[in-house]
Structures are given as C-alpha cells and as structure tokens.
Structure 1
C-alpha cells in the first residue's frame, strides 16, 4: 500500500522529538530542527494552496469539489498529527477541531457569496475572527515562546489573504487571485518557521542549532518552497486548461513566475549564466505539459505521445544539467526523480479528465510532497559542494556571545538599542493586522548603512558585501539580486520606509517578544560586542542570500 509522502514527513516529527540529531562538523541541511521546519512549512503551505483551490471549486459548483475539500481535510489531519507528536494526542484533537472550524467558515463564506447572502457572509467573517483568536490562544498556551498577539496578527493575515484571493476570483480579477495565492503560500511557510522556532526553543535538548540562523536549512526550505509550488501550480493550471477556464492564463503565469524564482535561486549559487541556461530548460517541460493538455482536449493521441516523448528528452537533459553543475548529484537518480515528477503530474491530470477525482488529488498531493524531497536532495548536494558558504560562523573572541537588545513600543518614537536611546521619526504601529517598523532605525542601530534612491523609490540596506533593496509600493524586496516576498506592501510614512516587523526580524534572525502591556516590542539576539555588530549582520545577510527567494 502506497504511503502519502506528506504523511511520512508528519510521522517523522514524533521521531525527531525523541531522537536528537548529532552535531556534524560539516554543514548540512539535515537535522531535527531543519526537518521540523521543513515538515511544518510543507503542510502549512499546502493548506493555503488547497484552501484557495477548494473555494474556487465550491463557488463554481465543480464536480470535484468534494475531493478537493477531502484533500484539504487530509492536510488538516496531518497537521493535527504533527501537533500531537509534539504536545500529545489531546492537543492534537483540540487543534483539529479549532483548525477545521476555520475551513468550515471559509466554506460558509463561499456558499453565502454564491447565494448573495450578505448577512451569512458577515457571519462567516465574524466566525473567522473568533477562530483566529482561539487558534492564537491555543498555540500561545501550548508554547510560552509564541506571542499570542503576533499569532493572532499572523492568522488575520492568513484569513485576509484567502478571502482576498476568493473575492478577486468572484470579481474575475484573476491576476490578483494568483498574486494573492503566492503571497498566502509564502506567508504560511513563514508561519511554519515561527512555529518551528518556538518548538525548538521550548525543547532545546531535542534539537540542534538555531534553525532561523542556519543557512543550509534556509536553502533547503527555499528550494522546497519553490519546487512544491511548481507541482501544485502545474496540476491546477492543467485542470484550468482542459476546462477552458477563463483564468487559465493567470494560473499558468504562476508557473512562469515560479520558474523565474527557481532560475534566480540557481543563479545565486552557480552564476547568472547558469540561471539563464536553466530557465529555458525548465520552462520547456512546462510547455510540454501544456502540449499534452491541448492534445487531450482535441483527442489527438499522436500529439499526446509527442508531448510525452519530449518530456522524456527533457528529464534526461535536466538531470544532466544538475549533475554537470554538481558532482554530488547522481545523474541517474536525478533522472529517476524527474520521471516520478512527470508521471505524478500526468497521473493527476489524466485522472481529472477521467473524473477519478480522488486519484487526481491523491496524485497532486504526492507530486507536491515529492518536490519537497527533491529540494532536500538538491540543497544537500549544494551544501556539500560549497561547505564554506554554509558554515555557521561562531565568534572566537569573546568566547561567550553578548545578547543585544532592541526595544520599541507601539505609538512611541523612542527606540533603545542596548543602552543607547534613539529617536525615530515614525513610531511602530499596526496596520491590517501587521506590526510595521521603520527599517532605517533598526538597520542603522545594528551597524548597517541605509540609502534611499528617490529616482527609483528604493531603500537600500548595505552590510559588508550584501545589499537589500526595498521598493516602495511593492510587496517584493531583493536580497543580493534575489527576489523575496515581504508579506505586505512596503510603503512610506512620514518619510520613512515601513516594513512588517515579522519579516525583517525573521530575515535578520532576531527573537521577538511582547511585553506584558502588549505594546512593548523586545528584540534580542546573541552576537559579538558592538564593534562587530555590522560584521554579524553581514553574516546574517550572507546566510540568507545562500538560498532565499520569493516565500
């Protein structure tokens, strides 16, 4: 009997909590903390994608709605098992009930929209508000390292993103649908990072390393995120294609954006020329899948076989590309893995056409999980190839790191960096459920240089050889030439660039806590004395640049 790949990841969590990983002298993507992070990101990211797809199916009255919802429920069961593996069976059951409720409220919202029942729509929104507070309380009660207010803010963002994607779909603003879907997906992986970080802090003897500051883990997570998105986006775009759906072009455009992200990731490791060579090669297999869909629609078996033959040529060329770039990767194993990827996508599509929807969604989930495993293999091979780039440096003098503290307060322009008091032009504030801070004062307070370019509306942060660019009015930033989703639109308030607190702290590896007054923000991080602050920040950036892109 075939076991679902995602289920395997979930069941592994229980093992990680009782068998600590052994420290290795060489950097690696493996380890209990990194595995926990990957598993939670996998499941939470999948939840966002499946939820948006299911809401579309429900609104359209599609025959596969029940099976789409079944895939979403299966994901919930696996998340519940993950929670149970950490906090016990009773906690797992409680989580399942709470988490399932918000899926039900989304369904209520879809039904009310279809019936044009505004009262019922508002009730669904009210219930989602009750849910997010209960869910935040659940996590914060279970883990003292998780801040209830921040959790509630994150869940509000999740709810708003899913509602926005659905409302845009109803309004036929398809470009917005898929932009929002990508943001929702990336945000849930960030949520997984936060939960995993809290769990590791809660059970330190069961884990090794700080997963938020491990560049090898970052690379693994980045590649898993991009490749997982590719699989799901391909399956659902193929469904849109055979259905002749009006949003097919926009659904297919996700694959192009995803390919660009993956090409940028390749370029960040092997150089711009390698990224340019990878892009058309990877894009070709997407084109062959489109050929297969078109041939299926016209019942042209000859064209279908040609598409399959082209996919066979592609997988061999793609395997050769990776194996040539990296001697740690086996060309035969790569080719076998790509064959599995191709077969899973074709199986999901053929089953959908045959109206065997249960098989279609089982194959889609297997394809998604398999791509995370592919990301695991590629990232480990890259880390072995460039070990120096992925080492977590430890300061030798002094032997004990000093804890730096940055304290801010909502509504106050005062910022304390260790014992130094500074004044900001703009106080931290909450907007649309997210806490925003002026990035200049945080960056300068820990040793980085900040520059604003009026001609391009760009805020640059420079630390050593690393450069970050934040574009006003966009929800994407750039880290050493690589794009990364911010999670909210960057904007200017009173002459200062504002970014979400959660994003910038996770990017730089700071721990965030809220004071008892629920208004004081306390950020801490172990680092060398003040004279080396800029160097440590540069190290953070280098670690991040090893594999980060859009999330």
Structure 2
C-alpha cells in the first residue's frame, strides 16, 4: 500500500522570498508579458522530433524592434539539443530505476525510448554534418548507453568485476571517442569536451549507485544535478555547430531572450518528468521514492517561481502560486483516486482541473501576457489531458503506453515554453538587451 498522498493547501499564500513547498508545484510557474504588437502564426521545424514533423504555435508574438529574437534556426537548434540531452538523462534514470527495481516491462519500455532519443540526437547531427557523421555519432552514443546498461546490471548482481569493466569502457572508450567526434565537428577544445563528458559519466553512475541503495533523496538530487549538466553540454555544442554551419543555422543562439527560452523549456520538461516519476512511484507503492520525487518537483517549482519573481515581482509570483497550488492538489486527488480505484474521486479531480484550474490559469496567463485566451486555454487543457493519460497508463501497469505518453506529455511542454518566453521578452525587452 502507498502512504496517503498529501496536498498543499489551496488557499496558501507565502511571501515570495520563502521557498514554497507544494506537491507537484512548478508546471507553468511563468507569468509572462503584457502584450503589445501583432501576433503571427509561426511554424517551427524541430530536427530530431520526427522526420518531417513541424510544431505549430499560434501564440508566437511578432517581436518589437528592441526585443531580441527568441526564435531563429540557430536558437531552435540550441533549444532542441538541450531538450534532447536533458531528456536522455531523465529517460536513462527512469530505465535504471526500473531495472534495479526488477520492473522489467517498465525497464524495456524506457530503454526503447532512450534509443529513440538517441536516434533523434543523431538526426540533429546528420542535419548539420551529413549521414556519415550521423552514423558515427549513433555508433558512439549507442555504445555509451550499452555501457551504462552493463554497469546497472553489474550493480544489480553485485558483480564488481562487471561494474569495473563498464566504468573502464565508459572512461577509456566512450569519453575519448565522443570528445574526438565533438571536438572535430565543432572546433571546441578537446580538453573542455572531455571534462564535460567525464562529468556526465560520473553523475550518471552516481544516480545508479543511489538508486541501488534506495537512497531516494540523494538519487533525485543527483538526477536534477545531472539534468542541469546536460544543458551545459548542449549550451557549448549547439552554438559551435551553428557557427560552423552558419548557412544552415542563421541567427543568434545565445542572446538573453534565447537563454530565457532554453531555461523555461528545460524547467518545464523537467517538471513533467519529475511529476510522472512521482506518480509512478506512488502508484507502485514506493512511498519513500514518491516523497523524494515530490521534493525534487517542489524544488523545480521553486526555481521557476524565482524566475517569475525576478521578472514580475512578488505579487505575480504569489498569485501564480495560489493557482498552481490548487492545481497540484487536484492532481494529488486524481492520483489517489486511481490508486484507490475510486472513480468518484477521479471524476471530482478531473472536474476541478477542468473547471477551476484551466480557466483560472488561462485568465492569469492571458491577462499577464496578452496571449490569446482561447489558445492558452487549449494548451492548458492539453497539458492536463496528457498528464492524466500518463497516470492512467501507470495505474493500469501498461508501461509501454505510459512511457510513450510520458514522452509525449514532456514534448508538449515546449509548446507552452516557447510562446511564454517570446512574450516575456517582448514585454520586457530592456531586461534582455
């Protein structure tokens, strides 16, 4: 049996300078721009998502002359690379968690997603450097995933020799091969790439060690640390790729507006994956892991809330936290209802999400940013539905479906982060010049 799930008070107001601690806090913790200027429909091609796939946003503001552009082909490259690298880390940690917990179907499902993520990364390399480079990257990256599987199996079996062999393969094969490849392709100093790559190996190894010991507070702290480190890699590599291939990736990938876009997208993706880690642990009866994942989720929300306060002040942050705390409680109710097989509780939670949270959140964001209310409402409803779908599949123990829905829900977060970042920069251009 899982421990009872507790939710934050829906009427709670806390000073912005104190860290808020709401279960499932942090979803859209962004109060964005007051809208001036026209709005345009923008189609963004995202390499590595699906072959030929486009993401369409109806919320992209035409930037004012003084506002830096958050969208360009170079910026899109950086956003997508950071997104996929962060996703790699999260999917890997979910796979190793399942493997060490003996949840074989869940491990296989997340392993397949991890491979798909690697294929998407390879497609980005291919778009920049051609098919030979893509094949070479895929070879190196796939081997690195395999070495981590070997390490995890060694830990599960308490086979020190197997662990040592996997670490040696990662250190003496993957690190130099990856560093040679990236340095040669981008012109980045090999020593710098080597240092970043070694750190990724050490941090991922530490997560596996934490999981094996069931030290869940350490595991989720280390997941967040390793996730943030993946952005350090992407932030170095993407601008270097754009510089080497300026005709393919024109634009500025490093202005302050793009920095905001990257930060929001990374935090929103992290939120979704931490939320589903928490619900998966709760529904699986892993109470200690649920508590640790919930704390990591709260910390993620605090980070987004601090971004709100730094841009819009404490009143906007407090108002957002009021709405968001209620939404957190509604999802706690829904997860508890699924765990108890209480259809009435589930229905009440869905009604609260649909009839209280969605309109309140849409009013808040639209009023703060000038974004069209109908479009914000649609995105908010879709987030609720995609997250609910993950919980339903987890409750049914359909891990193939839950993992796929997990990734789909996380990818949807960029549909929210992109227009919010653009609106913030349009509203406060002087903060991003």
Q: What TM-score results when the alignment is normalised by the length of structure 1? A: 0.66
Aligned to 2:282: 241
Q: Does the CA contact (< 8 Å) of 1:13 and 1:36 recur in 2?
A: no
- Who is 1:44 aligned against? 85
Distance in 2 (CA, whole Å) between partners of 1:305 and 1:383 is: 39
State whether structure 2 residue 344 is matched by structure 1 residue 316. Answer: no
CA contact (8 A) 2:72 2:253 kept: no
Equivalent residue for 2:179? 136
Structure 2: runs of 5+ lacking an equivalent: 1-44, 55-62
Q: Is the strand fraction higher in 1 or 2?
A: 1
Partner of 1:18: none
Larger Rg: 1
Q: Helix, strand or coil for the counterpart of 2:232?
A: helix
Matched, 1:351 2:396: no
Aligned 8 A contact 1:13 1:82 in 2: no
Cα RMSD for the two superposed structures: 2.2
1:165 paired with 2:207, answer yes
How far did residue 104 of structure 1 move? 0.7
Q: Offset of 1:10 from its aligned partner?
A: 6.6
Measured against aligned partners, the alpha-carbon deviations of 1:389-448 in whole angstroms (never above 9, x if no partner) come to: 323xxxxxxxxxxxxxxxxxxxxxxxxxxxxxxxxxxxxxxxxxxxxxxxxxxxxxxxxx
Deviations 1:359-416 (A, max 9, x none): 211111111111122110101111222223323xxxxxxxxxxxxxxxxxxxxxxxxx
- 1:228-271 per-position Cα deviation (integer Å, ceiling 9, x unaligned): 11111111111001011131100111111111111111112211
Aligned to 1:190: 232
The residue aligned with 2:18 is: none
User: In structure 2, what is the Cα distance between the partners aligned to 1:6 and 1:369?
Assistant: 11
SS at match of 1:362: helix
String of CA shifts for 1:79-133, please: whole Å, max 9, x gaps: 0111111111111111111101111111111111111110111001001112111
1:473-524: per-residue Cα shift (whole Å, max 9, x none)? xxxxxxxxxxxxxxxxxxxxxxxxxxxxxxxxxxxxxxxxxxxxxxxxxxxx
The answer as to whether partners of 1:37 and 1:193 remain within 8 angstroms in 2 is: yes
Answer whether contact 2:154 2:160 (CA < 8 A) is retained.
yes
Structure 1 residue 330, shift from structure 2 partner: 1.4
Alpha-carbon separation, structure 2, partners of 1:299 and 1:168: 32
Residue 217 of structure 2 is matched in structure 1 by 175
Give the secondary-structure state (helix, strand or coil) at the position aligned to 1:211: coil
Q: Which runs of 5+ in 1 are unaligned?
A: 15-22, 392-551
Deviation at 1:299, TM superposition (A): 1.1
1:273-312 counterparts in 2 under 5 A?
A: 273-312=315-354
2:107 is matched with 65
Correspondence for 1:74:
116
Structure 1 residues 9, 64: CA separation in 2 closer, same or farther (over 3 Å shift)? Answer: closer
Contact persistence 2:333–2:349 (CA under 8 A): yes
Whole-Å Cα distance in 1 between the matches of residues 53 and 361 of structure 2?
A: 32
